[in-house]
A = this chain, B = another copy of it.
Amino acid sequence: MTHSATDTRPFLDQVRELLGSRGFTDDPDLLDPWLTDWRGRYTGKALGLASPANTQEVAALVRLCHDQCVPIVPQGGNSGMSGGATPDTSGTALLLSLRRMDTIRALDADAREIVCEAGVVLQTLHDAAEKERLRFPLTLGGKGSATIGGLVSTNAGGTQVLRHGSMRAQVLGIEAVLADGSVIDTLTPLKKDNRGFDLKQLLIGSEGTLGIVTAATLRLLPEIGGRRVIWAGLGSIGQARRLLLHCERMAGDLLEGFEVIPRHSFDAVLDYLPDARNPLGGKHEWHALIELVADRGADDTLDPIVEQMLETALENELLDDATIAANEHQAEQFWLLRESIAPAERAIGPAAQHDISVPVARMADFVAEAVPAVERQFPDHEAIAFGHLGDGNVHFHVLAPRGSNKEEWEAAQAKEVSRFVYDLVTRYGGSISAEHGIGQIKVDELQRLGDPVALATMRAVKQALDPRGILNPGKLLPLASAPDSP
């Protein structure tokens, strides 16, 4: 059912009664900031903003919504890249913020486990771990706003996936509210548990369409003993792939990052950052940013390995030139170059950005084929691939012809460019969403290019666990029918 202006009042009164004045608002001044995603691509409407204080309130609220068939859009830090936390424009949904649930329920330093409520901000988790001389091995640009609930629901990635895996690999247990308001609790971590389907895995990465994550138990690692950051100059992406294999062989588990930067992006960053310097003397077609990390106590193993790794790489012509950051300050400057690519490219002009992955072994071939293919197909466009080579995950940007008007180009060409890129990725057996998720931005492309068997199976699961379609409708996996009265 869609609520008309008049008949929503009894429902909203019930919500207000349930959550109290701190837990609900429909004041537009308070609501509006959360109705647009942070990149400003989507703006929706909502009945109001619910901010429950605990799991019991979330459960009661979902039960209420379930009974009255009111759609729910869960939201954490509102820092997603795919519009997954922004409601549609119908105004029929309730926006459900988990931000008030920001308690760290437990931290067991011996067991290296932490139990965070959904609203705990990633930076807060990092700080709590550091106090115990531990670390949480996942970070990303939005760490000051991204919440644990959002990170779990979207199986977030970041720059440490190469060694430590994405969010899925960090989650030991979750607590979640299902579509009918029942609570599933697997927070107690068991290293071995074979009591049937692993429902936790089903909820991770389901973008709030199967349940609302209210808390998670996460693994922690010993704090870092030290790191070495290397900047290397390369002739080709194929050489980068060979260097990556070499580093994996030589450094094993110490290898924590392997990022690639093409000349175009590097030049853009040098133009963009006022004080940026080229870490190397000459010009190179490609650059690699390589990071090795040792746990506490094992710091002295790093230098001999780095030295031997680079020496043999030079001997075998796996790189043209390389330098090791002399200190932590310089290491941060190397990373700043990498992290400035996105804003630097944005400063040049409009672009279509693609968060894609292909098998690691095929990434070099993919880039070598895709860049000229895109530029042939779309004259005056420039294609740039950079990022997590070690994960088979590059950010593939296609820049509009210089001087293009953003709106005009986006209306006329951007979609076609993206279709072309996604078709090519699919031919390589890759994914049209490596780490940002489907949200609303890639719903159509997933329907077009996804494996029909996988899509049918996902729809069957969605239908089974949320038969009324109230959980984040229209995201990830549109069902044939809209939410309907019971």
Contact = CB atoms under 8 A, between A and B. Distances in A.
A432 interface: yes
A33 interface: no
Interface string A200-240: 01101111001000000000001000000000000000000
A191 interface: yes
A162 B192 CA distance: 10
Given A194-B437, A461-B464, A359 B189 contact: yes
Contacts of A186: 454
Contacts of A451: 184-185
Contact of A196 (B162, B191, B205, B357): B205
Contacts of A195: 431-433, 438, 446, 450, 454
Given A110-B245, A461-B464, A197 B190 contact: no
A139 B190 CA distance: 20
Interface string A435-476: 111100000001000110111111011011100000000001
Contacts of A450: 195-196
A401 to B, nearest CB: 31
A182 B453 contact: yes
B199 A458 contact: yes
- Indicate how many identical chains form the complex: 2
A138 to B, nearest CB: 12
A83 to B, nearest CB: 14
Range class of the A interface residue count: 35 or more
A388 to B, nearest CB: 8
A463 B461 contact: no
B430 A154 contact: no
A454 B196 contact: yes
Interface of A: 108, 110-111, 154-155, 157, 161-162, 166, 168, 178, 182-186, 188-199, 201-202, 204-207, 210, 222, 245, 249, 252-253, 295, 298, 301, 357-361, 388, 390-393, 429-438, 446, 450-451, 453-458, 460-461, 463-465, 476-477
Given A192-B388, A201-B202, 17 more contacts: A111-B361, A161-B191, A185-B451, A186-B454, A188-B359, A190-B359, A191-B392, A193-B434, A194-B433, A195-B446, A195-B450, A195-B454, A196-B207, A196-B450, A198-B201, A198-B205, A461-B465
